Amino acid sequence: MPRGNHHGGKDRTDRDDMTPARARRIVERWMFPVEGSSYMGGLEKRPVIARAKGSIVTDTGGKEYLDFQSGQMGAALGHQHPRIVRRIEETMGSLLHASNTMLHVPRLRLHEKLGEILPKPLEKSLFLVSGSDSIEAAIDLSRKATGGTDVIGFHAGLHGSTSYLTRSLSFNWDRRKHSIVAPATAAILAPYCYRCPLRLEFPGCELQCLDTSLELADANFTAKPAAAIVEPILSAGGVIVPPKGYLKALQDACRKRGMLLIVDESQTGLGKTGKLFGFQHEAGVVPDIVVISKHFGGGLPISAVCATPEVAEAAVKEGYFATRSHATDPVLCAAGEESLLIVVEEDMAKRARRIERRIRKAFDEMAAAFELIGEVRGRGVLLGIELVRDRKTRAPAEKEAASIFEYCLANGLIFQLRGVRELKNVIRLVPPMTTTDSQVDRAMSIIRDAIKSALGRGRARGRKRKRRRD
Ligand SMILES: Cc1ncc(COP(=O)(O)O)c(C=O)c1O
């Protein structure tokens, strides 16, 4: 494996003096501690990444991993997409930073390109840096546009990590972890059909979870309500796909109450689900506000709040604005425009659909062999495999999931384990949309071996326990 940067020499990301022992010492001495139960817990035991290309990341020891979490989802176009790298380098040569009190070409081009690809009547956009920034701005926008206050979100949803508003609406993280929760934020039941909170079955349930949730929400509203915020597929909550008709019914319920529908497309937007936007899988859904982030910047941090002219104008009349010092940096805007061009010109949605078909086929075969696979769900390159001990009782197989995760990491495949609230029994696969067939096949083969190993270990544990009882 050749090492070194593209100028031929070693760069600072690839220093071979960064041994695992040294990395551990730095974490212990200098890094802010990470809460052990969070998804970032145990970092010091994980590989230290030196470089990445396409779907492969390489650690400081030269070991390669298939990155089936697309970085922190920011690399869904593939790491270091050559067009993104070229565009960033070009822009850096002329304009790295600019005041947002003046316009510049990359920013204008990005507004134009985004406006052209947004489904109508969405047209207006503003740029911020992170997904959380844009969610905060979208909530504020909905409040200013409607004159309302209360916002509802799914109990298994996640919308960001800013310490007040977006964490308060990220019910899939424990709200008890925050010292203060934002008022006028409340959860409604996520439509999680595999473990229906109402013990009903779709379609016979007639979306009872929505009716029950709204009855409670109406009772709880402290003021005029402003919005409902949803992920079209609840990613961190275990890749939950709302059943057919749900989003449209929620939208109708919002309209009836004068509330706006905010669709958080951070994880589902720009091709990943096999369509340009995740909400487009359901006919008749016309969001008032959409947020995009993650691979919007091709790997750099830029996010957008997109809205209809009507919503934007109503809010601005009430004094609405949202910005950050680096929100419209030319390099970020140029990367954003290039990423949109790549999504469209390289038909990323089609690639995502192809990857989905290949992964589903592999899991169909695995499901025939292993009871452990309870459900395979999701769309495009956002897929979840829920693991259960027993398909009838659906008892979550958390230990097996953890063992599969460790096996895969040791054997060169990275993904995250997710699930509803405290559960971590869903393998979430988010391969870059540029992942090749042979890389998908290799990942599936690692997972197959990991399942065999996890089940073998479980059986061995069972035998040991039985011997002890005997
Ligand atoms: C659906 C969703 N919305 C918003 C965010 C927040 O984005 P960021 O971490 O860029 O602030 C995330 C982060 O993972 C997310 O998954």
Please spell the DSSP secondary structure of 293-314, one letter per residue.
-GGGGBTB--EEEEE-HHHHHH
Q: Which of 319, 345, 371 is the last residue of a domain?
A: 345
Q: Do both 172 and 316 map to the same domain?
A: yes
Ligand 1 centroid–CA 416 distance in Å is 15
**pLDDT score of 172:** 86
Q: Which atom of ligand 1 is nearest to the CA of 133?
A: 11
**pLDDT score of 6:** 46
Whether residue 22 lies inside any domain: the answer is no
Q: Do both 323 and 363 map to the same domain?
A: no
Whether residue 6 lies inside any domain: the answer is no
Q: Quick one: tokens of 149?
A: 């206050």
Choice from 73, 161, 165 to test ligand 1 binding pocket (greatest atom count within 8 A of CB): 161
- β-strand pairing of 150-154 with 185-188: parallel
Ligand 1 centroid–CA 159 distance in Å is 5
Q: Do both 302 and 246 map to the same domain?
A: yes
235 Cβ closer than 6 Å to some ligand 1 atom: yes
- Residue of the CA atom closest to atom 14 of ligand 1: 160
Q: Do both 437 and 361 map to the same domain?
A: yes
Q: Do both 355 and 325 map to the same domain?
A: no
Q: Which atom of ligand 1 is nearest to the CA of 160?
A: 6
Q: Do both 274 and 360 map to the same domain?
A: no
**pLDDT score of 84:** 98
In this prediction, the residues of the chain whose per-residue pLDDT falls under 70 are: 1-16, 458-470
Q: Quick one: tokens of 317?
A: 């009349």
Whether residue 32 lies inside any domain: the answer is no
- β-bridge partners, 305: 126, 291
CB 175 within 8 A of CB 147: no
Domain that residue 326 falls in: 82-345
**pLDDT score of 166:** 87
Q: Which atom of ligand 1 is nearest to the CA of 231?
A: 1
**pLDDT score of 469:** 54
- β-strand pairing of 303-307 with 413-414: unpaired
* Packing angle, helices 348-369 and 330-345, rounded to 10: 70
Whether residue 43 lies inside any domain: the answer is no
Q: Please state, in angstroms and rounded to a whole number, the distance separating the CA atoms of residues 56 and 412.
A: 9
Whether residue 369 lies inside any domain: the answer is yes
Q: What is the CATH number of the domain that holds 399?
A: 3.90.1150.10
Q: Please state, in angstroms and rounded to a whole number, the distance separating the CA atoms of residues 259 and 64.
A: 48
Q: Do both 92 and 210 map to the same domain?
A: yes
265 Cβ closer than 6 Å to some ligand 1 atom: no
305 Cβ closer than 6 Å to some ligand 1 atom: no
Choice from 70, 128, 130, 132 to test ligand 1 binding pocket (greatest atom count within 8 A of CB): 132
Q: Which atom of ligand 1 is nearest to the CA of 267?
A: 1
167 Cβ closer than 6 Å to some ligand 1 atom: no
159 Cβ closer than 6 Å to some ligand 1 atom: yes
Ligand 1 centroid–CA 161 distance in Å is 7
In the DSSP assignment, the letter for residue 417 is E
430 Cβ closer than 6 Å to some ligand 1 atom: no
CB 426 within 8 A of CB 386: yes
**pLDDT score of 133:** 96
Q: Which atom of ligand 1 is nearest to the CA of 135?
A: 4
Ligand 1 centroid–CA 266 distance in Å is 6
Q: Which is it for the CA torsion 331, 332, 336, 337, positive or negative?
A: negative
- Residue of the CA atom closest to atom 3 of ligand 1: 159
330 Cβ closer than 6 Å to some ligand 1 atom: no
pTM of the complete model? 0.94
- β-bridge partners, 180: none
Choice from 73, 240, 270, 294 to test ligand 1 binding pocket (greatest atom count within 8 A of CB): 294
Q: Which atom of ligand 1 is nearest to the CA of 303?
A: 10
Number of other residues whose CB lies within 10 A of the CB of residue 44:
15
Whether residue 112 lies inside any domain: the answer is yes
**pLDDT score of 293:** 98
Alpha helices per DSSP H over 176-302: 208-220, 246-256
Q: Do both 300 and 244 map to the same domain?
A: yes
158 Cβ closer than 6 Å to some ligand 1 atom: yes
Whether residue 50 lies inside any domain: the answer is no
Q: Do both 67 and 100 map to the same domain?
A: no
Q: Do both 110 and 215 map to the same domain?
A: yes
Ligand 1 centroid–CA 1 distance in Å is 34
Q: What is the CATH number of the domain that holds 261?
A: 3.40.640.10
Whether residue 132 lies inside any domain: the answer is yes
Prior bond of 2 cis (ω within 30°): no
Ligand 1 centroid–CA 39 distance in Å is 14
- Residue of the CA atom closest to atom 7 of ligand 1: 131
Q: Do both 178 and 272 map to the same domain?
A: yes
Ligand 1 centroid–CA 160 distance in Å is 5
Q: Do both 68 and 116 map to the same domain?
A: no
Domain count, the chain: 2
125 Cβ closer than 6 Å to some ligand 1 atom: no
Q: Which of 284, 311, 345 is the last residue of a domain?
A: 345
Single out the residue of 30, 64, 66, 36 nearest to residue 50, CA to CA: 64
Q: Which of 296, 327, 345 is the last residue of a domain?
A: 345
339 Cβ closer than 6 Å to some ligand 1 atom: no
